[in-house]
Structures are given as structure tokens and as C-alpha cells.
Amino acid sequence: MQERLVSGEAVELDVRIARIGSRVLAQVLDVVIQSVLALLGVLTILVAFQEASRPVVAGSFIVLAVIVLVVYPVAMLLITRGRSVGKLAVGLRVVRDDGGPIAFRHALTRTLVGVAAEWPGLPPLTWLASLAVLLVSPRGKRIGDLTAGTIVIHDREPATWGWVPPMPPHLAGWARTLDISGLPADLALACRHYLARNRGLREPARSRIGIALAMEVVACTTPAPPPGTPGWAYLAAVLAERNRRATFRLAAARAASAQVWPDLGVRGPAATPAARPSRSQGLRPAAPGL
């Protein structure tokens, strides 16, 4: 079951939790950056303190280690609001468990625990332990996240929705007889994604994905589409009918609420955004058939 991220106001947030693949890639990039900084620091100390005493040089190395392993990561998390260089490259972000931005205490706790118990830690024991916790945690948390009360999410801006075909007129009558009670919400969302983005897909992947989705929808809805119906038209008709029924259910619920509380100001289904005519009524998607 997919973990849900709920804010402090009990609002479910629509975000994707980062898993081990993207987390490890971001960490590798951060390690490379820190290694470069450490190398530059070591060269600077060796050049600047050639004639200094051994305690001074040792103290300089300790200060360098604190800067590279603690000060730099904490500063990056605060300045970029939960991102490091690796996370910026991969599209990740550290937030609180309730989805809010992290503060100084979150960044410091997460970094200190990471240095002591994860990386550099005590290789390879702490590395393996960190990976094991990351794999087992339902929210993809590592030890530092568990201690600081943070979580890492995907922070890329979602692509804008493309045009989704409206109800094909010749399928409107058939669509009203559909039994879509068995259509899962995630499958309907996958079909919407496919129709909205099919112009960006290439053959044969476009046809293969479309046929697979159509077969899944056919398996959980009745009756079957009329013979010769293109796959894109079938999926568009199912989604349009699902949206039409949801619109009228919402209107009925508002009407029932208005009887108890008239000040709600019920709107009919024609006033809802879903029922407004599309500017692209005459367009067709890139794939006329599956």
C-alpha cells in the first residue's frame, strides 16, 4: 500500500516519496562534491601551513572536516529549502513529516546523525545499516530522517496536462449504458495520463501502452465497446462518462446540502468547470487508433 503524506491540518498531500534509487544517486553526487571540497581544503592547508606546527595543521584538518561534513550540508539544506546539490540534480527535496519546510534543527539533526551513523560513519557497517533502514521504511526514510522527523520527496514540477479528447459523439449513447463501478481510480488516472501525453509518445510504445490500458479497462467494465472503435476513442468515452457521472453526483450532493444549509449556493452541473465546452472539440490525438 502506498504511503500517504498528510499535513498538520489533516490534508493529504499529492507528492511522491523518494525511494532508494533516486536517494542513492543524489547521495553519490553529494559525496563527489564533498570529496572535491575536501581535496581543495587539504591542498590549501598544506600550502598555507607549510611551516606551521603539527598541532596547528591537525586542528586545521579537524576544522576542514567539520566544514565539509556538517557546516556545508546544513547550510545547503537551509539556503535551498531542503535540497543539496545532488538532490537539486535528481529533483528531490527534504521536508518535515507533515510536508512543511525544514528548520535549522531538522537540518542539523539529520546531518549529525548522518555523519555519525551513516556516511562516513563506520564503513561498511553503517552504510549497509543505512541501506537496510531505507529499504524497510515504508516512507523511504534513512536513520537521519527517522531521528530528525523528515522525509525526502520528489520535487520536480509536474508536466502540464495535454489535451484529453472529449466524449466521441457516436459513443455517447453506448457510454450511458456503461457499468464502470469496477474501474479503479488509479487505472482511470493512467488512462488520462496516456491520452493527455500521447502526442509525446513514440511508436510502437504509444500503441503498446494504449492497447494494454484498453484491455485493462475492458476487463473491469461492461458492455464491450462497439466493433471497430479506436482504442483512443474507447478510453476517451469511458473517462468522459466517468467524469459526467461524478459531476452529477457532486451536484446532487450540493443540492442535498443546500436543503439543510441554503447559504451554500448550489451550482448546477452546467456551471462546473468539467461541463464547459473544450476549445479543442475538433481536434484528435496523435494516435487515431491503437
* pLDDT value at residue 5: 56
| Exposure letters 9-37 (e unless 16+ CB within 10 A, then b) | eeeeeeeebbeeebbebbbebbeebbeee
* pLDDT value at residue 173: 92
Domain ranges for the chain, please list them. 5-154, 169-275
* pLDDT value at residue 126: 84
* pLDDT value at residue 99: 80
* pLDDT value at residue 280: 40
* pLDDT value at residue 276: 45
**Euclidean distance between CA atoms 222 and 201, whole angstroms:** 29
* pLDDT value at residue 232: 84
* pLDDT value at residue 270: 44
Q: What are phi and psi of 106, to 5 degrees?
A: -65, -45
Low-confidence ranges of the chain (pLDDT < 50): 1-2, 8-11, 266-290
Residue 33 is placed in which grid cell? Answer: 562534491
pTM for this predicted structure: 0.53
* pLDDT value at residue 40: 95
* pLDDT value at residue 39: 96
pLDDT digits (tens, 9 = 90+) for 149-208: 999 998 865 555 566 778 999 999 999 999 999 999 889 888 988 888 877 778 888 888
